[in-house]
Structure formats: C-alpha cells, structure tokens
Chain A
Amino acid sequence: MTAGVAAPPVLSPDGTERAARRRRRVPYLLLAPGLVFLLVLYVVPLIALFRTGLQSGNLVSGYEFTWEWGNFLQVFTTYRPQLLRSLLYSVSATVVTLLLGYPLAYAIAFRTGRWKNLFLVLLLVPFLIPFLLRTLAWRTILADQGLVVEAMKAIGLLPEQGGRLLATGWAVLAGLVYSFLPFMVLPIYVALEKIDRSLLEAAGDLYSKPSTAFWKVTWPLSLPGVISGTLLTAIPAAGDYISVQLLGNPQETMMGNVIENKFLSVIDYPAAAAISITLMLAIVIAVIFYVRSVGTEELVA
C-alpha cells in the first residue's frame, strides 16, 4: 500500500508540498476520535485498575495507595483454587471446542459446495437467541431427570444413583464449549477457505494419501485460523463466570466469580483489581506470543 489515495495533482512545487503535508495529517485526524476514546476508556482504566490493585485498607476507613503487592501475591495463594480452575476450564473448553470445531469448519469449507453460505448462516443463527437464555436452556437440557441425564444413565455413562450433570464441572464445560464454538469455527473456516485447492490436487497427483495431504498441506495452512480460534475461545473462557453461576456448583468458582463478587458485593476493590490485572497480564503474554508468530495485521483483520 502506498501513502494517500493517489498522487495529488501537481500545481506548483510549493502547493504540492503543502498538500503532501496536509495528507500526512489525514490518517491522524481520522484516528483521533477512536484513539481518544480507547485511551480514556480502555488504557487509563486498566492503569487505574493496576494502581487500585496496590492499595490497602478497608471499605470503612477507605483505601490508600501503599504499594501493597500482597494483593497480587494473594491471587496465587488465597485464590489459587479459582486460578487453577479458570485455567483448567479454559484449557479443556478450548481443546474440546477445537476437536468439535475443526471438523465442522472443514465440512463447511470443503463439503457444502454452493450451500456454503447457508451453512455459515445456520452456524450463527442460534447465537441470536439472547446469551443468558441460551445458557439457561442448557440448565433445562442437562437437568436431573432430564432427557440427557436419563439417556446417559441408561447406557451407563452416569451412575443410576445420584448421577447428575448440573452443578458439576461437566455442565460448565458444556456451557463454555457451546458459547465459544462459532468463535473457533469461523477463523478456521476462513483459513481453510483461503487454501488454494490446486495444492491439494498436486498432493494427490504426487500419490500422497488423503491423510498425508491433510497433515502436510491443509493442517499447516489452517494454523493461523486455529491460533485465532483458540485465543478467541481460551481468553473469554478464562474470564467467564456466567457458566459457573448458572450451570456449575456455586462452591467451585472461577476467577471471574471472585472479581464480580469482590467488585459488586463485597466491595473489596484492591483484591478484585489485583485478580483482574493478573488475568489481563496472562492474556497480554499470550497475545505477545501470538503477534510474534503471525504479525499485527492478522490481529484485527
């Protein structure tokens, strides 16, 4: 891409220079409203949150900034169960979503022919039902004595006595996988769609088995989609607290529940801020790793 839309009409050397200088300012003018918005409402609050995480005190006497690193230490001691559970749910939800989502993206990209767009629409349509209602619907589907539980008892996947899904980690996992499936499928689909089909033909011409062609051609070329999809699943899953609250066991909370609880009920801002920032830092590290492997253009596009 070159600078500007096209070369400006040449008037005089002096006029051209002024026009060029004006043109250099254009992108910044276009960016200004958005950047101001993001700086004031995204960057500043995160820095302020970090500062809050270093405060000490209590609700009655007020909080004071004292470089209280203990709040951050607490995340790894007091809240270690929640930290580990968030990690566990996030990783397992991502793995399951990838295992379910990859074949789905593959089927849509390679097997639906002219109905491709219809299937993409069908993939997205269920997500137009309000999110909370969808999650509550899973509560009905996975309910004790519900169809799924009874069927699983019948084939011995759940014990006859006291076997249940609701209020267990399995229900949370089911809710997470369901919520993030399209975020996994779409980027993988886009990556698969971009693959030049003649590469696969060439592999076939050179007597490679379909499975070899898949692992040597299709899979490596779809990796950018897989990376996007896993990030788009793992990150929100790590911060989730709705699935636990509505489907899981209220005793087995995640980091998100602690943040919500400390911020909105207990009003312990420093602890909540420290947990938020820790979560955020973990993500920053993941994203830096990602930028290193694919570059910044791929991020937003």
Chain B
Amino acid sequence: MRTVKRLLLPTYLGLSLLYLFLPVLVVILFSFNDYQGRFNVRWQGFTIEHWLDPFRVEEIPQALGVSIVVAALSSGIATIIGTLIALALTRYRFRGRSATNVLLFFPMATPEVVLGSSLLGLFVAMGTGAGFLTLLLAHILFIISYAVATIRARIVGFDRHLEEAAMDLYANEWETFRKVTWPMILPGVFAAFLLGFALSLDDFVVSNFTAGTIQTYPLYVWGAARRGIPAQVNVWGTVIFVVTVTVMLLFLWGQRRRQQRLGLA
C-alpha cells in the first residue's frame, strides 16, 4: 500500500508528460506520412518526401517569413516599452502606480477575440483598413503586458543594495543604470523578447482580425485547414518546434553558466 502511494505522484507525472507530448508526436509523425489525396489525417506509410521538398507549397515559407518579421519587430518594440514600464514600477513609488498595474493586467485578461475585434473596429473607424502596420501594432499591444511581467520578476529578484553601493561610490543615476542595473536585468529583457517572439509567432486570433490580406503562418494553416493541409505545414511546424526548443535550451544553459560564474548557484 505504501509503495503504491509513493509511486502515485511519479506515475501521474509520467502520464501527464505523455499527454502533453502526444500532439507534438502526432505533428512530427505526420510530416513523414505518405498520404494520398488532400487530407493528411490518417497514417498511410512512411516517407521523407515532404522533408526533401519543403518549398513545394510556396505560400508556407512566405507566410512563415512574414510571421518571423512581425514577431521580431513587435517583440523588439514591446520589450523596449516593457522594460521602461518595469523600471518605473519597481524603482519608483508614484501616484497612479496601482492604476498602471490594473491597466497592464487587463490586456492579458481580455479574450483575444475581444482584443482583435476592438482593434479592427478602431482601424475601420479610422479608415486605415487592416494590413502589415495594424498587425504589428496589435502584436505589440498584446506582448507589452507579458514583457513587463517577465522583466519585473527579474528586477524584483535582484539585490537593490548593489545600486545603492554604486551611488555611494559617486556614480550618477545614468552610470548606475548602465553599469549595474542594465547588466543585471539583461537576462530578463532577453527572456521577455523570446517570450514575446513566441507569442507573436503563434498568434492566430488577433492576427485574424488585424492582418487584412497579409498572411502569417497561423493564418495560412487556418485557411488550409478547410481545403486540406499539406504535410509541408507539419514539416515547417516541426522546424519551428526544433528551433524554438533549441533557443530556449541555449538560453537556460547560458543563464545557468552565468549564475555559476557569479557564484549564485
């Protein structure tokens, strides 16, 4: 009885991981499916044909290119804005601080369909229509709050006395920021950029409302879902997966080394 009890949680943990990875395995597996017809939904045999010809459906790499550009720009801008906000919220006490917290929380708590529709309403009312710029602005908007949360967690975590020590040694505020604060929060800023990049790359709902005729990778997948998804979608999905996992692991590994070097771990 006792062993059963002790094995209960680890078993549960294992089953949960299996459950979490099941769709991942399906996506990867079906990039090797030798299917007939338009619908790649039933396993029919193994082939590497789709991997040898990833550019056969030109729309996919094109859409992915748009997604990457939008993700890099929107996450970059949102991270800069978010860093400034995070610094203000953690380093200063000022009137309107609670209100700012609430204002930052709401975009995260707003369902994407509401966010997207309200933005489309604005763009229609302003007569700008929807396109690359509106898509970019919409992505920046929904990334900002996540960027602030990530960077602020990092700032709260480090020792304030280091900044005070720098000031005591006659560094002015700018020097203190550049030589002490910035290097300390840099991993948080970088993490925020990566998170924002991933959120933007994967966004469908907000993009569906604000992209106009611009096609991102998720928008292409959505459109293709009705007429049958070519296996190249799975090929590129697998590529995105492998690349993002690698970047995430490299980042974590770099963090660990940094901490070890600083003697924090």
Chain A contact patch, size range = 35 or more
Does any Cβ of A come within 8 Å of B57's Cβ?
Answer: no
Let me know if A44 and B122 touch, CB within 8 A. yes
> At the interface, yes or no: A153 with Cβ under 8 Å from chain B?
no
- Interface residues as binary, B1-34 with A (CB distance below 8 Å gives 1, 0 otherwise): 0000000011011001101111110110010000
Name which residue of chain B comes closest to A117, CB basis. Answer: B252
Residues of A within 8 A of B (CB): 1-6, 9, 24, 26-28, 30-31, 33-35, 37-38, 41-46, 48-49, 52, 100, 103-104, 106-108, 111-112, 117, 119, 121-126, 128-134, 136-141, 143, 178, 181, 231, 235-236, 238-242, 246, 256, 259-260, 263-264, 269, 272-273, 276, 279-280, 283, 287, 291, 296-297, 299-301
Please tell me which one of the listed residues A119, A140, A301 contacts residue B13 in the complex, with CB atoms under 8 A apart: A119
Contact call B218/A132, Cβ cutoff below 8 A: yes
Bound CA–CA A160/B170 (angstroms): 80
Given A41-B138, A41-B141, residue A128 in contact with residue B218 (CB < 8 A): no
Asked if A178 and B113 make an inter-chain contact with CB atoms under 8 angstroms apart, the answer reads no
B120 interfacial by beta-carbon distance below 8 Å: yes
Question: Interface of B with A (CB < 8 Å)?
Answer: 9-10, 12-13, 16-17, 19-24, 26-27, 30, 41-42, 81-82, 84-85, 87-94, 98, 100-107, 109-115, 117-122, 124-125, 137-138, 140-141, 144-145, 148-149, 152-153, 156, 163-164, 167-168, 170, 173, 176, 198, 201-202, 204-205, 208-209, 217-218, 221-222, 225, 229, 233-234, 237, 240-241, 244-245, 248-249, 252
Does the CB pair B114–A280 fall under 8 Å? yes
| Chain A residues in 8 Å Cβ range of B173 | 5
* Chain B residue contacts of A138, Cβ below 8 A: 23
**Cβ-defined partner of B20 (8 Å) among A28, A46, A126, A143:** A126
A112: which B residues are within 8 A, CB to CB? 13
Which residues of chain B come closer than 8 Å to A238, judged between CB atoms?
Answer: 111
CA distance A242 to B113 in the complex (A): 10
CB distance from A64 to the nearest CB of B (A): 14
Contact sample, A vs B, 25 pairs, CB 8 Å cutoff? A5-B163, A28-B94, A34-B148, A38-B141, A46-B114, A48-B125, A111-B9, A121-B248, A123-B20, A126-B20, A128-B245, A129-B241, A130-B237, A130-B240, A134-B24, A137-B26, A178-B20, A178-B23, A239-B111, A279-B111, A283-B110, A296-B98, A296-B101, A300-B145, A301-B153
Interface centre among A28, A30, A34 (most CB of B within 10 A): A34
Q: Is the CB of B248 within 8 A of A128?
A: yes
Say yes or no: A38-B101 contact (C-beta < 8 A), given A27-B94, A107-B12, A126-B24. Answer: no
CB nearest neighbor in B for A133: B237
Choose among A9, A46, A125, A136 the residue that contacts B229 (Cβ–Cβ < 8 A).
A136
A301 to chain B, nearest CB (A): 6
Q: CA–CA, A76 to B101, complex, Å?
A: 32
B163 CB → nearest A CB, Å: 6
For residue B67, give the distance in angstroms from its CB to the closest CB of chain A: 9
- Given the complex, which residues of B lie within 8 Å of A42, measured CB to CB? 103, 106-107, 110, 115, 118, 141
Distance in angstroms between the alpha carbons of A153 and B170 in the assembled complex: 76
Q: In the complex, what's the smallest C-beta–C-beta distance from B250 to chain A, in angstroms?
A: 12
Instruction: Check A296 against B245 for contact (C-beta < 8 Å).
Output: no
Chain B nearest Cβ from A19, distance in angstroms: 10
The reply to whether B218 and A299 form a contact with Cβ atoms under 8 Å apart is no
Q: How far is the CB of B4 from chain A (nearest CB, A)?
A: 15
Given A37-B141, A139-B41, 9 more A-B residue pairs with CB atoms under 8 Å apart are A6-B164, A41-B122, A49-B121, A108-B13, A129-B27, A136-B229, A235-B109, A264-B208, A283-B111
Report whether B121 and A106 are in contact in the complex, using a CB–CB cutoff of 8 Å.
no
A2-B229 CB under 8 A given contacts A35-B100, A49-B121, A241-B113: no
Kindly state the separation between the CA atoms of A122 and B16 in the bound complex, as whole angstroms.
Answer: 10
List of A residues within 8 angstroms of B140 by Cβ: 37
CB-based nearest B residue for A286: B109
Most buried by B among A31, A46, A112, A272: A31
Whether B26 contacts A299 by the Cβ 8 Å rule is no
Q: How far is the CA of A272 from the CA of B209 in the complex (A)?
A: 13
When the two chains form their complex, are residues A133 and B27 in contact, meaning their CB atoms are under 8 A apart? Answer: yes
Contact residues in B for A24 (Cβ distance below 8 Å) = 94
Residues of chain B within 8 A (CB-CB) of A242 are: 204-205
How many Å lie between the Cα of A54 and that of B186 in the bound state? 47
Q: Which residue on B lies nearest to A246, using beta carbons?
A: B225
Please give, as numbers and ranges, the residues of chain A lying within 8 Å of B19 by CB-CB distance: 178
- Which of B113, B144, B249 has most A Cβ within 10 Å? B113
Residue of B nearest to A255 (CB): B113
Q: Which residues of B contact A9 (CB under 8 A)?
A: 170
The 8 Å CB contact of A5, one of B91, B110, B229, B244, is B91
